[in-house]
C-alpha cells in the first residue's frame, strides 16, 4: 500500500531551483532513504512536505489525500512527524515538558499527554534525562530528543533529517537500532542521511537526488552502484575508473 | 513550609486594611493589586508566549473607557465595566492579533506600540463619545477605600491563580513551546497563530478588567492617563521584567516594587528633598525637590539596567541568587 507520494515537486528560491520535478512513492512500513550531496535539496523537500514554505508546483499525497498547502501543524496532526537537521529543542523547558507539549497533539487531557510522553521517553531511551533542561543536553541527545518529540505526536510517517550526523560511532549504532525499532512499531520512515553506513544498512529503498533532480532510485545496492550517484558523491574521475 | 507562603501572604493582605487604617497606604496597595492584574496579563503574552507587547495601555484604556462610558451614557453602574471591560479589550485584541501574528519577528511589538497610540488618538478625537481631553468623571460608589481594596485584591488573586491554572494546562505548554521555538511548535502540531491569539486575549481580558477597576476607583479618566505609553504600557513591561519574566509570582513582586519606586520618585524620595530644601534653604536643593518627581522615568531606567545586569530573570526568577548575594553565608552553606 502506498502511504505517501510526492508528485512532480518543484521549489524555487528566487532564481535558484532547489528542487526540480522530484517524484517518489513510499510504501507503508518501509524505511525510505533520501540521499544527495550537500545542498542538493533534501531538507528543502522535507520543508515542502511539512509546508514550512509553500511549494512552487507539484503535489503531496498522504493516505490517499492531497495534503499540499495544509498548514504545518495540520500536517503533523494528519500523521506526519518530522525532525530538524538543525535541532530545535524547546531550550528552557525540561526534556519531559518538551515531550509533553508534543504529546498534546493526540492526547485528550494532561494526564494522557503525560502518559504518552513517559511512554515515548522510555521507548526512545531518553527517560534518564527527563528532568534535564533541554538546552543543556549534549548534541547526541538533542538529536534523540527531536525524534522523541516527533514520536510523541504519534505519527504514521516520520521524516528524519540527518539524525545521525555529528554522533560518535557508538551513538550511531544506537541511533540505527532506534530507527529500526520505530519502523518495527509500525511507523513508516523517510530518512535523510549522509552517513552511508546508516542509510545503506537500514533503508529498504533509496532515492538519490543531485542539484534538486532525481538521479537514481532503487534498492541500496542498486543505488550505490549507480554511475550517477558515484559521480555525484565522488566526482567524475571515480565513475570512469 | 514554602507551600504555605502564598497563603500566609494572602492572610496578611486580607488583614492589612484592618490593621493599617491609613488611607494613603491602602491607596498604594490598591494600585499594587491593579498592577498585579496588568502585569499578570502582560506576562502571559510576553513572558510565557514570547510576544512582547508595548501597547498594554490599549487594553487597559479600553477597559477603563468601557466602564466610564457605560456609566456616562447609559447611567448604569460603572461596575458593569468589570464584566464588559475585559471583553471590550478582547474585542480590540482579536482583530489586532489576527493581523499582526501573521508576521514574525519584532512586528508584533512595533504594532502594539502603534495600537497604543491609535487608541489614545481615537479616545481624544471621538469627543461626542468620549468627551476627548475633558475626560470622564463618575461618582465613586464608596467613600472608604476598604471596599476597593478587597475588590482589587480579589482581582489580583484571581489573575495570579488563573494564570497559574492556564500555565499548567495544555495552553501553558503551547505558549511556552511558541516562545521557545515557533517552527518546532508548528511541527509538533501546535497552531501557533491560534494560540498566540488565545494568549493575547487572556492578556487583554485581565488588563481590561484592571482598567475597568481603575475607572471605578479613581472616578476620573482621560486619554492621557489610561492610554499613556510610559505610565501604563512601559510600566507594565517594567512590572514584568523586574518581577521576573515568565514566572507566576513575578508580576506580583514587580507590581509591589514598581508602585513603591514610582511613589518614591513622585513624593521626592518620601519628602526627603523637600525636607533637605527646607533645612538647608539652598537653591539647588529647592530645584531638586521640585524636579525630582518628574525624574521617575530616569529612576525606572536605572532600575531596569540594574535588574538586567544582576538579576536577568527578575526578582522571582533569580530569587536564589538574590538571597545568596544578600546573605553570603547561606550561599557557602549551600555550597558545602
Ligand atoms: N530558505 C531558503 N532560502 C533560500 N535558499 C534556500 C533556502 N533553503 C535552502 N536553500 C537552498 O536550496 C538548496 C538546497 O538546500 P537544502 O538545505 O535542501 O540541501 P540539503 O540537501 O539538505 O543539504 P545538506 O546535506 O547540506 O543538508 C541550497 O542551495 C540552499 O542554499
Ligand atoms: Mg539538509
| Separation between Cα atoms, residue B256 and residue B246, nearest integer Å | 17
Residue whose CB lies within 8 A of the most ligand 1 atoms, among A44, A211, A213, A214, for a mutation test: A44
Top pLDDT among B267 and B98 is at: B98
Return the DSSP state at A159.
Answer: E
**What band does B81 get if pLDDT is binned at 50, 70 and 90?**
confident
Which DSSP helix (H) or strand (E) runs through A239?
A: helix A236-240
Any ligand 1 atom below 6 A from CB of A19: no
C-alpha cell at B230: 510610559
Q: Measured from the CB, is residue A42 less than 6 Å from ligand 1?
A: yes
Q: Which residue has the cell 509533553?
A: A100
Whether B176 and A101 lie within 8 Å, measured CB to CB? yes
Mean pLDDT throughout A39-63?
A: 95
- Residue A54 Cβ < 6 Å to ligand 1: no
Minimum distance, in Å, between the CA of residue A82 and any CA atom of chain B: 7
Locate cell 514584568: which residue? Answer: B240
DSSP-assigned states of every residue in B52-73: --S-HHHHHHHHHHHHHHHHHH
- Residue by residue, DSSP assigns B220-281 as EE-HHHHT-IIIIIIHHHHHHHHH-TT-SSHHHHHHHHHHHHHHHHHTHHHHHHHHHHHHH-
Q: Which three cell numbers stand for residue B105?
A: 519577528
User: CB-based contact (8 Å) between A105 and chain B?
Assistant: yes
Tell me how many residue pairs between chain A and chain B have CB atoms under 8 A apart.
Answer: 79
Residue pair A189/A160 in contact (Cβ under 8 Å)? The answer is: yes
pLDDT band per the 50, 70, 90 thresholds, residue B334: very low
Question: What are chain A's domains?
Answer: 2-79+155-239 (3.40.50.300), 88-153 (no CATH)
Taking the C-alpha atoms of residue B74 and residue A173, their distance in angstroms, rounded to an integer, is 74
- Measured in angstroms, how far is the CA atom of residue A234 from the centroid of ligand 1? 20
What pLDDT is stored for residue B1 in this prediction? 67
Nearest CA to CA, how far is B318 from chain A (Å)?
15
**% of chain B exceeding 90 in pLDDT:** 52
Q: Grid cell 515542502 — which residue?
A: A48
**Res. A62: pLDDT tops 70:** yes
For chain A, give the longest Cα–Cα distance: 62
Complex ipTM over 0.90: yes
Which A residues, 165 through 194, put their C-beta within 8 Å of a C-beta on chain B?
Answer: none
Q: A144-181 pLDDT, tens per residue?
A: 999 999 999 999 999 999 998 888 889 999 999 999 99
CB A38 less than 6 A from any atom of ligand 1: yes
Read off φ and ψ for residue A28, nearest 5 degrees. Answer: -60, 130
For residue A82, give the DSSP letter. Answer: E
Separation of CA A35 and ligand 2 centre (Å): 10
Average pLDDT, rounded, for chain A: 93
**pLDDT at residue number A239:** 52
Ligand 1, atom 23, residue with closest C-alpha: A39
Task: Tell me if chain B has a CB within 8 Å of the CB of A82.
Answer: yes
Q: Is the CB of A40 under 6 A from ligand 1?
A: yes
Q: Give residue limits of the domains in chain B.
A: 22-228
Contact B183 A84 (CB under 8 A): yes
Q: Which three cell numbers stand for residue A130?
A: 527527563
- Tell me the average pLDDT across B66-91: 90
Closest-CA residue to A209 (of A31, A72, A32): A32
pLDDT for position B149: 95
Q: Is A113 touching B (CB cutoff 8 A)? A: yes
H runs (alpha helix) in B140-189: 146-168, 170-180, 182-187
Mutate-to-test residue for ligand 1 from A16, A53, A87, highest number of ligand atoms within 8 A of CB: A16
- Establish if B247 touches chain A: CB-CB under 8 angstroms: no
Does ligand 1 have an atom closer than 6 angstroms to the CB of A69? no
**C-alpha torsion B225→B229→B230→B232, nearest 10:** 60
Per-residue confidence (pLDDT) for residue B302, from 0 to 100: 82
- How far apart CA B231 and CA B266 sit, in angstroms, is 12
SS3 A8: strand
CA distances from B287 to A21, B6, B59, B264, B265 (A): 77, 43, 37, 17, 14
CA-based R_g, chain B, Å: 21
Amino acid at each position: 500500500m502506498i502511504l505517501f507520494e510526492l508528485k512532480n515537486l518543484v521549489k524555487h528560491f528566487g532564481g535558484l531551483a532547489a528542487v526540480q520535478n522530484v517524484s517518489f512513492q513510499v510504501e507503508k512500513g518501509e524505511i525510505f532513504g533520501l540521499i544527495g550531496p550537500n545542498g542538493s535539496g533534501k531538507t528543502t523537500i522535507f520543508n515542502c512536505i511539512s509546508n514550512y514554505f509553500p511549494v512552487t508546483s507539484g503535489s503531496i499525497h498522504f493516505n490517499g489525500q492531497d495534503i499540499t498547502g495544509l498548514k504545518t501543524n495540520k500536517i503533523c496532526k494528519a500523521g506526519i512527524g518530522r525532525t530538524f537537521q538543525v535541532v530545535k529543542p524547546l531550550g528552557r523547558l525540561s526534556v519531559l515538558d518538551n515531550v509533553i507539549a508534543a504529546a498534546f497533539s493526540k492526547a485528550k487531557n494532561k494526564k494522557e499527554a503525560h502518559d504518552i510522553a513517559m511512554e515515548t521517553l522510555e521507548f526512545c531511551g531518553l527517560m534518564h534525562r527527563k528532568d534535564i533542561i533541554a538546552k543543556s543536553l549534549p548534541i547526541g541527545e538533542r538529536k534523540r530528543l527531536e525524534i522523541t518529540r516527533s514520536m510523541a505526536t504519534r505519527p504514521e510517517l516520520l521524516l528524519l533529517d540527518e539524525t545521525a550526523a555529528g554522533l560518535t560511532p557508538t551513538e550511531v549504532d544506537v541511533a540505527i537500532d532506534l530507527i529500526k525499532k520505530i519502523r518495527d512499531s509500525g511507523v513508516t520512515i523517510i530518512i535523510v542521511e549522509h552517513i552511508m553506513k546508516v542509510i545503506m544498512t537500514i533503508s529498504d529503498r533509496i532515492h538519490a537526488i543531485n542539484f534538486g533532480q532525481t538521479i537514481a532510485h532503487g534498492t541500496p545496492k542498486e543505488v550505490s552502484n549507480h554511475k550517477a550517484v558515484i559521480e555525484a558523491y565522488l566526482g567524475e574521475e571515480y565513475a570512469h575508473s | 513550609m514554602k507551600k504555605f507562603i502564598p497563603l500566609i501572604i494572602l492572610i496578611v493582605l486580607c488583614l492589612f486594611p484592618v490593621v493599617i487604617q491609613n488611607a494613603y497606604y491602602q491607596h498604594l496597595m490598591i494600585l499594587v493589586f491593579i498592577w498585579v492584574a496588568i502585569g499578570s496579563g502582560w506576562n502571559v503574552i510576553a513572558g510565557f508566549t514570547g510576544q512582547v507587547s508595548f501597547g498594554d495601555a490599549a487594553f487597559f484604556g479600553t477597559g477603563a473607557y468601557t466602564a466610564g462610558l457605560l456609566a456616562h451614557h447609559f447611567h448604569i453602574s460603572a461596575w458593569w465595566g468589570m464584566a464588559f471591560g475585559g471583553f471590550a479589550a478582547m474585542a480590540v485584541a482579536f482583530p489586532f492579533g489576527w493581523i499582526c501574528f501573521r508576521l514574525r519577528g519584532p512586528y508584533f511589538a512595533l504594532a502594539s506600540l502603534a495600537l497604543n497610540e491609535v487608541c489614545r488618538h481615537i479616545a481624544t478625537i471621538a469627543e461626542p463619545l468620549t468627551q476627548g481631553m475633558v475626560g470622564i468623571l463618575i461618582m465613586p460608589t464608596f467613600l472608604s477605600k476598604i471596599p476597593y481594596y478587597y475588590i482589587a485584591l480579589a482581582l489580583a488573586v484571581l489573575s495570579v491563580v488563573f494564570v497559574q491554572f492556564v500555565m499548567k494546562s495544555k495552553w501553558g505548554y503551547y505558549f511556552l513551546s511558541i516562545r521557545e521555538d515557533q517552527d518546532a511548535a508548528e511541527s509538533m502540531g501546535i497552531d501557533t497563530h491560534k494560540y498566540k491569539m488565545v494568549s493575547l486575549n487572556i492578556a487583554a481580558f485581565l488588563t481590561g478588567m484592571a482598567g475597568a477597576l481603575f475607572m471605578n476607583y479613581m472616578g476620573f479618566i482621560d486619554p492621557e492617563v489610561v492610554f499613556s505609553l510610559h505610565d501604563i504600557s512601559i510600566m507594565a513591561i517594567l512590572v514584568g521584567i523586574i518581577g521576573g519574566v515568565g514566572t507566576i509570582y513575578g508580576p506580583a513582586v514587580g507590581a509591589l516594587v514598581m508602585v513603591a519606586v514610582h511613589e518614591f520618585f513622585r513624593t521626592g524620595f518620601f519628602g526627603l528633598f523637600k525636607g533637605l530644601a527646607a533645612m538647608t534653604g539652598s537653591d539647588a536643593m529647592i530645584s531638586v525637590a521640585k524636579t525630582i518627581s518628574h525624574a521617575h522615568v530616569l529612576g525606572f531606567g536605572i532600575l531596569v539596567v540594574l535588574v538586567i545586569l544582576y538579576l536577568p530573570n527578575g526578582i522571582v526568577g533569580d530569587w536564589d541568587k538574590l538571597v545568596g548575594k544578600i546573605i553570603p553565608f547561606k550561599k557557602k552553606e549551600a555550597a558545602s
